[in-house]
Copies of this chain bind each other. A is one copy, B any other.
Amino acid sequence: MEIEEQLAYLTRGCVDVVRASDLRARLTEAQAAGRPLVVKVGFDPTAPDLHLGHTVLIRKMKHFQDLGHTVVFLIGDFTGLIGDPTGRSKTRPPLTPEAVQANADTYRQQVFRILDPGKTIVDFNSRWLGALTGVDWVRLAARYNLAQMLERRDFRQRYEAGQPIGLHEFLYPLSQGYDSVFLKADVELGGTDQLFNLNVGRDIMPAYGLPAQIILTTPLLVGLDGVEKMSKSLGNYVGIEEPADEMVRKIVEDFRGTDEVMWTYFTLLTDWSAAQIAERQAQFAAGGVTASDLRYELARSIVSDYHGAAAAEAAVQAVKARHAARQGRAGDELPPQDVAAGQLLRKVLVDLALAGSGSDATRKIAQGGVRLNGETVNDINALVPAGTWTIQAGKKLVARVRAT
């Protein structure tokens, strides 16, 4: 890729790029020197349970890896090991080092579904922040002044509202900035809500004799409700460890956002290029694809990332079939799958994932839960006759087959 292509690829979907000219120069310089950029991204050390909202940032990390750069997945355990420094909050007890390690393992398990482990360094900032002396802290604090700190909107609002701002709260952005110094970060990524903190790193690096890091922020993902930020507590989320079926179902059926939000999902949650998205938007405008088609397509792409293409496709088909069954059309919409005629129905049920096992299939037939084109089959040894059939197993599981 040419530098301009790289720049477009890396900044796609970002909110802030500080500054694009610096990023261009840094990419050029790194390419000439044959060195990968160090791309730093900080994560909270508390137990992670990642959803698609988090993946916007993680996918941006992957884009840097796609171009050969090194990502530092930085677990901000220094503050976690402190807990609530005022000692007043019982809900923020200090994390133990063991809990930090366990959370790091959980992170690894989840993020390596997206990131390349070979180009990812998982690190912990307590390693260097814990080693700073009092003199180091004073020198660090001397790099920043109060007015700069109060530019951060929430600080200023709280100050003006007469709400207390603990002085330790100023040390956190500084320590995050020092992470960039220690790691000699070329780039730091974060959510838009992190822009101030990322800028602290950018501001103080020159005082330590380093070029200022480049900052890219990714937007907050709107949740399935189409209104609020995706979050677990609001219930408007899709977890990346959820079963493929459930992920597809949520994306297709629970999504309440506008078409605009859906296109944002394509931008932020798939690798589709801007050109590909534009093409599909034109088709949609012309009536060539429906909103439903697009959601399935979106779901297929997203779920492939976490469960693989085959499982994604099966999940899409299963959700489509259930949807059709609920609509009373018994799967007529489904594309038929080819099976051999004359084989045991209970074996076909397993092959089509309508039953979990042979004994599950036998039980479902025995209980009268299986129908062919709406007719209940009671014989557990029934064979599938030649022809095109909609097979239902229970209320939700539906498939369409062409037996030949």
Q: Which residues of A line the B interface, CB within 8 A?
A: 78-79, 81-82, 85-87, 129-135, 137-147, 149, 159, 162, 164-168, 170-172, 174-175, 207
Contact = CB atoms under 8 A, between A and B. Distances in A.
B130 A146 contact: no
Contacts of A168: 138-142
A100 to B, nearest CB: 14
Contacts of A145: 164-167
A82 B134 CA distance: 10
B141 A167 contact: yes
A147 B166 contact: no
The residue in A86, A87, A131, A135 that gathers the most chain B C-beta atoms within 10 A of its C-beta is A135
A24 B253 CA distance: 75
B81 A171 contact: no
A135 B166 contact: no
A147 B165 contact: yes
Given A78-B134, A130-B134, A137-B137, A147 B164 contact: yes
B81 A135 contact: yes
Q: Closest 4 interchain pairs by CB?
A: A85-B142, A141-B168, A142-B168, A141-B167
Nearest to A78: B134
B146 A164 contact: yes
Contact of A139 (B82, B130, B135): B82
A151 to B, nearest CB: 12
Given A86-B142, A130-B134, A138-B171, 20 more contacts: A82-B139, A85-B138, A85-B142, A86-B143, A129-B134, A130-B133, A130-B135, A137-B137, A138-B168, A139-B168, A141-B167, A142-B168, A144-B167, A145-B165, A145-B167, A146-B146, A146-B167, A147-B159, A167-B170, A170-B170
Contacts of A164: 145-147
A143 B82 CA distance: 14
A142 B167 contact: yes
Nearest to A79: B138
7 contacts: A85-B141, A87-B207, A141-B170, A141-B171, A146-B165, A147-B159, A167-B170
A81 B138 CA distance: 11
